[in-house]
Structure 1
């Protein structure tokens, strides 16, 4: 470890018997995404009498803007194959879609995450056009397959913080890093 002092020391450092000190990683902004979803979802329903139901939510399009990327979500290039966990308000997310950058490159995005109402909040997502970070825990792990000038995205560990406004899914994507 370098001799530089870090202000983001891990909270566990005080309890560790090891001299090696960990630090909390940083988040580096990658992009803001605005995603348009289809008005029609496909509900597979509960399998084998369980209360869990697969809900397929087609992605119609959208935009991505950030310091190193500007792109659109290819029309009808994917969906979120969510799993609604019956009676909990919890949904496991599993989205896949394709970006086309302004300079003509394609990027495959896979997003696995979780949606759950905040403490004391009762939300029916199907009946809402707006959901804020004050109401829900809505996070995703983003993985990329890219080439050319976007090769750097292949080695990024990214997380997305989600919200919804006017029925558009909003994602601010951040790279998790030890370096800033």
Structure 2
């Protein structure tokens, strides 16, 4: 059995052997999103005096640009219904919003992920205006509902890598695939 010395070979073979090699998936860029959040969040608090605080962060608008997608985030079309864990800076993300493409199609986006700062004192003074990939593990799993020329998004497994620049949320979205260079299939009911 081969080991994981090759860059694309999965290290799983070093732990559980199977009669063929598996490889790590590839990532292909879908788009960059730049998002405006409302200036005020809605802190629901901890239901039943528990350890999880719900914070609703309204999405005001923004822009999406990529090789096959160009769209605006519809004004006030969604929010991030985050869950902050008391005593930590960790947050579970759960956002939903709508895009309108330049050719008039709507794309519904669901995004679930995590925000985990690398330092315990990350919010010690106040929320920062900028958060880089060096500051936090900040990722999301993106799911799409789309029609027309964007049907291909429905079958995509995508992840988002997040940052914040001047209080704007930035997401680079990537398709996870075993077939790099092959476009995602347009899913059509026959």
- TM-score band by shorter chain is over 0.9
C-alpha separation in 2, matches of 1:39 and 1:17: 52
Classify the secondary structure of the residue corresponding to 1:153: helix
Report Cα offsets for 1:122-167 as digits up to 9, x if no partner.
2229621111100100000000000000000000000000000100
The answer (yes or no) to whether the contact 1:33–1:65 under 8 Å persists in 2 is: yes
Q: How does 1:108-147 map to 2 (within 5 A)?
A: 108-118=108-118, 120-124=119-123, 127-147=127-147
1-structure distance, mates of 2:17, 2:128: 50
Structure 1 length normalisation: TM-score? 0.93
1:54 and 2:54 matched: yes
CA RMSD of aligned residues (A): 1.4
- Is 2:31 the counterpart of 1:41? no
Deviation at 1:121, TM superposition (A): 4.7
Measured in 1, the distance between the counterparts of 2:121 and 2:172 equals 24
TM-score (norm 2): 0.88
User: What does 1:25-174 align with in structure 2 at a 5 Å threshold?
Assistant: 25-118=25-118, 120-124=119-123, 127-174=127-174
**What is the number of equivalent residue pairs in this alignment?**
174
Equivalent-residue separation in structure 1 for 2:89 and 2:10 (angstroms): 32
Unmatched runs of 5 consecutive residues or more in structure 2: 1-5, 181-190
Deviations 1:54-108 (A, max 9, x none): 0000000000000000000000000000000111111000000000000000000
Change in Cα spacing, 1:127 to 1:7, as seen in structure 2 (3 Å) is closer
CA contact (8 A) 2:80 2:94 kept: yes
